[in-house]
Amino acid sequence: MRQRSQRHSAKQEIASLAAEIRQVRTRLSLSQGQFAERLGISQQTVSDWEKGKRLRQVHIALRLARLFAL
């Protein structure tokens, strides 16, 4: 039961992160392509992030950064 709750929580955090990425991009009035160019990544990666895909590694990196107060 605890694992299910942790997975659900992680999914919620990833969905929240995806929404936050999109909000930042739109607040800057940037297209996905422009945002990607500034970050040095592909437009497809930005699209995937905003859909909640491929965010697992980003999610883990953020948790580590918080843990170590980076």
Structural domain boundaries in the chain: 2-67
- Percent over 70 (pLDDT), the chain: 87
pTM here?
0.72
Residue 59 has pLDDT above 90, yes or no: no
> What's the chain's average pLDDT?
84
Residue 5 has pLDDT above 80, yes or no: no
In this predicted model, which residue has the larger pLDDT, 16 or 8?
A: 16
The 10 Å CB-count burial string (b at 16+, else e) for 40-65 is eeeeeebeebbebeebeeebeeeeee
Tens of pLDDT, residue by residue over 16-46, are 989 999 999 999 999 999 999 998 889 999 9
Q: Which class is domain 2-67?
A: mainly alpha
